[in-house]
Amino acid sequence: MTRNKNALSERLYNGIVLPTPWPPCQAPQPAYEPMPVPYLDHPPAVIPIDLGRQLFVDDFLIAETTLARVFHQARKYAGNPVFEPETAFETQGVLPAATPKGGGVWWDPAWQCFRMWYEAGWLNGLAHAVSRDGLRWERSELDVLPPTNRLVPDLTCDSGTVFIDHDHPDPAQRYKMLLRSANEVVGHDGPGYSLVSADGIHWSAPVKTGPMGDRSTMFYNPFRGKWVYSIRAPHPCGVPRARRYREHADFLAGAAWTPDDCVFWTGADRLDLPDPAIGDTPQLYNLDAVAYESILLGLFEIHLGPANEVCEARGIPKTTELMTAFSRDGFHWSRPDRRAFIPAARRAGEWDRGYVQSVGGLCLVMGDELWFYYTGFRGDCARRDKWGFGGNVYGNGSTGLAMLRRDGFASLSAGADTGSLLTRPVSFSGEHLFVNVDNPQGALTVDVCAETGEPLKGFTRADCLPIAGDSTRQPVAWRGGKTLAGLAGCPMRFRFHLSKGDLYAFWVSLATTGESGGYVAAGGPGFAGAKEADDTHA
């Protein structure tokens, strides 16, 4: 990776200026300390908010508040698992599995359906399934290896990631895949493979990557136009699982890295507490990410143990759980909530007893909800793998679903009381203020303020029509039908006054229907591309 110390600084969509060189060659934090997040310590003087909904997952946007931040966990779907091993291809290999384990679950506007790329059988082949509703999945025979639904038959699958590239000018590169193949020596650093496709079914000849450990993945950072490789590597503090970082604007050309091209990135830290029943030091098993609204949303797969040999002896899957992380510069991660966002069940007989993993694309936008597909493993205490590899650890993998309110990672809550929030100076080009709020028994009003914090005439809370309800897309109105059009381009602040409820997000839209122009993760019905366009809900 070329790291030019003399390059001009890059200013991001949100006003953050990246330091040079980039990516930063940061020293690992001593004594397993949390990763620093420089933009929270030194936010921009004025924050542009034209791109996407503005979430309250950190203090980036907040100057002062008397509201309490509350983090929310996903709820597991009662009908889980929604996809489990059924076909001979999935059940008669080394071990039964039907799990993306990375892979990807996307809404594909070209196909007008949900698509899943998944591992069919443990360390077996990559396969493909489709769904009309996201709950009932169909395996269709493909012409790649009839009569199966298998893809890239020359490569087995240790793990992989699939992303839909909506904006690439070459239709032959609409779909991207990073595959870590079990053809390589499992457990050792070897090459992966980068592939592209026009339809997600027929893939190009694989391009070998530089060395990487198993469970390495990738994602796209559209805020900077970079493909990011999330590479498993040892933590310099001694634990075997952490992450190194590689970025490149060209997906295939970016595959040709050397170890010197990758910088230490992130790992678990001392705030990731050991499981009291296990006692092992937590490690970062995997890191998947996607652009959601105005941030990069990450899921850290935290490995709590036990060690593989302990799991084999006891007949249980290892315990990994998914925790949220948020980034506004694409490199530094804020992790304010260390509870499991999607936990392992940890109970014998449960389909997701352990080894819970995220999928490529992370989540879909389904109206007022976000849908997170994830994989889990029941294990098989009666089976021992003939290779001594631990069939009881990796047996019986399936795919389930968890849901969250849209933007619902964190809210600023008044509880049963009343409070307020003043933003930092922001700038915008839209006309219409919207909020995501849940306060059916309370009230929300808004002052539009000058940069000094003084409310503007005609835009005070007394002029604001009080809001009471539960809506993920609620317009804010002032008497006289005033809009924010005349304030566009000027540094302004918003002061929210809230009683008996929760505020999740705000944004200024160009449209009266409230489209944010932000990114929609793995998409969803009604979305034609990577962003919520102005005509999405027209």
Lowest mean pLDDT among 84-93, 97-106, 400-409, 468-477: 84-93
The Cα–Cα gap between 297 and 52 comes to: 13
pLDDT band at 529 (very low <50, low <70, confident <90, very high): very high
pLDDT per residue as tens digits for the range 30-44: 778 899 999 999 999
Q: Can you tell me the mean pLDDT for 283-298?
A: 97
CATH of 54-71+410-520, one of 3.40.50, 2.30.110, 1.10.3470, 2.60.120: 2.60.120
What is the pLDDT, as a whole number, of residue 387?
45
Q: Which of 115, 198, 108, 206 is nearest to 157 (CA)?
A: 206
Residues above pLDDT 70, as percent of the chain: 93
pLDDT per residue as tens digits for the range 20-33: 999 998 766 677 88
Q: Can you tell me the mean pLDDT for 261-269?
A: 94
What is the pLDDT, as a whole number, of residue 222?
97
Q: Which of 206, 85, 88 is nearest to 147 (CA)?
A: 88
The Cα–Cα gap between 434 and 515 comes to: 9
In one-letter notation, the amino acid at residue 234 is P
Q: What angle do CA 289, 41, 494 make, to 5 degrees?
A: 85
Burial of 399 (0-12, 13-18, 19+ CB in 10 A): buried
**DSSP label at 455?**
B
Quick check: helix, strand or coil at residue 365?
Answer: strand
pLDDT of 386 > 50? The answer is no
Q: Which of 255, 127, 250 is nearest to 194 (CA)?
A: 255
Topology given in CATH for the domain delimited by 88-310+318-346+357-380+397-405: Tachylectin-2; Chain A (2.115.10)
Q: What angle do CA 239, 212, 159 make, to 5 degrees?
A: 95
Residues above pLDDT 90, as percent of the chain: 81
What is the pLDDT, as a whole number, of residue 188?
62
Check if the beta carbon of residue 303 is closer than 8 Å to that of residue 317: no
The Cα–Cα gap between 316 and 355 comes to: 10
CA-only gyration radius of the chain, Å: 23
For the stretch 425-440, what's the b/e string if a residue is b when 16 or more beta carbons lie within 10 angstroms of its beta carbon? bbbbebbbbbbbbbbe
Total-model pTM: 0.95
Q: Can you tell me the mean pLDDT for 354-371?
A: 97
Q: Can you tell me the mean pLDDT for 367-379?
A: 96
Q: Would you say the C-alpha torsion 204, 205, 207, 208 has a positive or negative sign?
A: positive
Question: What tokens does 279 get?
Answer: 């006692």
The Cα–Cα gap between 204 and 173 comes to: 9
- Pairing mode of beta strands 98-108, 502-509: unpaired
Quick check: helix, strand or coil at residue 76?
Answer: strand
The domains of the chain are located at 54-71+410-520, 88-310+318-346+357-380+397-405
Q: Can you tell me the mean pLDDT for 241-264?
A: 95
pLDDT per residue as tens digits for the range 237-249: 888 999 999 999 9
What is the pLDDT, as a whole number, of residue 185?
54
What is the pLDDT, as a whole number, of residue 235?
85
What is the pLDDT, as a whole number, of residue 187?
53
pLDDT band at 156 (very low <50, low <70, confident <90, very high): confident
pLDDT of 77 > 80? The answer is yes
pLDDT per residue as tens digits for the range 426-444: 999 999 999 999 999 999 9
pLDDT of 363 > 70? The answer is yes
Q: Which of 3-12, 121-130, 253-262, 493-502 has the highest mean pLDDT?
A: 493-502
What is the pLDDT, as a whole number, of residue 383?
59
What is the pLDDT, as a whole number, of residue 208?
94
What is the pLDDT, as a whole number, of residue 534?
59
What is the pLDDT, as a whole number, of residue 538?
39
Alpha helices in 244-372 (DSSP H): 308-314
The Cα–Cα gap between 151 and 131 comes to: 18
For the stretch 304-316, what's the b/e string if a residue is b when 16 or more beta carbons lie within 10 angstroms of its beta carbon? bbbeeeebbeebb
pLDDT per residue as tens digits for the range 172-210: 999 999 998 876 655 567 889 999 999 999 999 999 999
The Cα–Cα gap between 130 and 407 comes to: 26
In one-letter notation, the amino acid at residue 377 is F
What is the pLDDT, as a whole number, of residue 380?
77
